[in-house]
Amino acid sequence: MLYLSTRGHPDRKRFCEILLEGLAPDGGLYLPEFYPQVDSATLEQWRAVYAQKGYAALAFEVLSLYIDDIPAEELQGICERTYTRQVFGTDEIVPLRELEDLFYLEALSNGPTLAFKDMAMQLLGNLFEYELARRGEELNILGATSGDTGSAAEYAMRGKRGVRVFMTSPRGRMSPFQQAQMFSLQDANIHNLAIEGVFDDCQDIVKAVSNDLDFKRRYRIGTVNSINWARLLAQVVYYFAGYFQATHATPVGGSPSKVSFTVPSGNFGNVCAGHVARMMGLPIEKLVVATNENDVLDEFFRTGIYRVRGSADTHETSSPSMDISKASNFERFVFDLLGRDGAETRRLFSDELGRKGYFALNEHGSFGDASGKYGFASGRSSHADRVDTIRETWQRHATMIDPHTADGVKVARPFVQPGIPMIVLETALPIKFAATIVEALGKEPDRPSRFDGIEALPKRVTILPSDMAAVQQYIAQHCA
């Protein structure tokens, strides 16, 4: 399997090369040259594998279609070390909870940092450690987080040989619990950089540093944001797991059952993994994109216009991990939407966005495919919506959900279709956003004992301006 850039760079690379590289040399994102196809027979084989051997075995089946430069037995071992009860607290790893008839939550937040990012980040940490040891090299990971990516990356990479983490985050824009999870870590290979700005400023810095090819090569810069294909690939697995739990085996000669997924979305990585699963052949009826007040993605799927916002127009909300106005992974979907036209994708994301701050596909011949061929829909949720949804879900189903998951539940309901399971991807445990839970329910959410008193622990964080040069200088000083 070879990988190409969404912006048309002529090079083709193997998985382990792009694992350590992050962005392509032309600023594009990597995708496989083709999506391996899973027919009905293979789907049923995987259903049996999942039922008999569990999530790690299913992960190996999916990943092995895309990774052919790690020996099969090694890749299988990495999956088995990653997806364990010890790490995720349950043998099911991603159990479904049925709220009402054919309406489910898929629990993705049982990992070390109580957020869905652990599902991919734990795998990424083991892949990095394996490949760096094989090469005898080191890697400096530069990332940006709006809340959950940072802690998931740091917990996955802490103590890993050959890896340093430099994680940028918007100063004061995360919940107190999220900040404490990251800033309380004292491991020497973990560096927290609080940037004076919003998440998009952090993300812009990461991309700019990655596009400084001399600096990137000199300091061995890699990424853990979902611009890294390996992370997105890991997320594909739980779409298959959710499908198998919500449906029955396909009868001989029959058609597979369909499901729909609703995904709380900011950077488009989580739902882009669903797009990849659908392109592989998973029978998904609809992929519903749920946004908060920062509704760049909802606007696109309603109008065909992708219009990024500046820092001043990025709202600070009660679902802060979605306070994003430049959806990096969206480029992967647009590349497919445009028939994999790298030159046109480069023109839109490099020229049009840079010059006008938006591009319009509403008159483009392919735009109708977003809701047709590719099965996307979207909706928007507000603070009042998520508070009401948290309260209603607790009162009706005795289930406490976090604000981002509440956005998903609220947006999902108009898209429920008779006879088709709707699966809402849970994104985090409520304790990470206690203030909103207290507002909705008048009570504190449960806190895992290992996080008791975390907000009072000593903090290890450096405040920097929103400036690429300042971040580069910090990296250079701490890589000496």
Bridge partners of 46, per DSSP, are none
Tokens of 182: 């990251």
Report the C-alpha dihedral over residues 192, 197, 199, 203, rounded to 10 degrees: -80
Q: Is 117 a catalytic residue?
A: yes
Q: Which residue, chain included where needed, has tokens 């810069």?
A: 221
List C-alpha distances in Å: 194 to 37, 112, 152, 431, 471. Answer: 42, 22, 17, 22, 10
Closest CA to 476 of 212, 224, 183: 212
Residue 190, phi then psi, degrees to nearest 5:
-110, 125
Torsion, Cα 5 9 13 16, to 10 degrees, reads -50
Rounded Cα–Cα distance for residues 261 and 400 (Å): 20
Rg, C-alpha atoms of the chain: 21
**Quick check: helix, strand or coil at residue 397?**
helix
Q: Which of 27, 34, 37 is nearest to 5 (CA)?
A: 27
Among the options 117, 216, 326, 432, which is catalytic? 117
Q: Judge whether 256 and 30 are in contact, CB under 8 Å.
A: no
* Burial class of residue 282 (count of CB atoms within 10 Å of its CB; 0-12, 13-18, 19+): buried
Per-residue tokens: 326:
């430049």
How far apart are the C-alpha atoms of 290 and 267, rounded to whole Å?
11
What is the Cα–Cα distance from 124 to 84, expressed in whole angstroms? 15
CB atoms within 10 A of CB 296: 22
CA dist., res. 122 & res. 82, Å (int): 6
Question: Within its chain, how far is the Cα of 442 from the centroid?
Answer: 31
CB-based contact 439:387 (threshold 8 Å): yes
The answer to whether residues 427 and 120 touch, using CB atoms and an 8 Å cutoff, is: no
Residues taking part in catalysis: 117
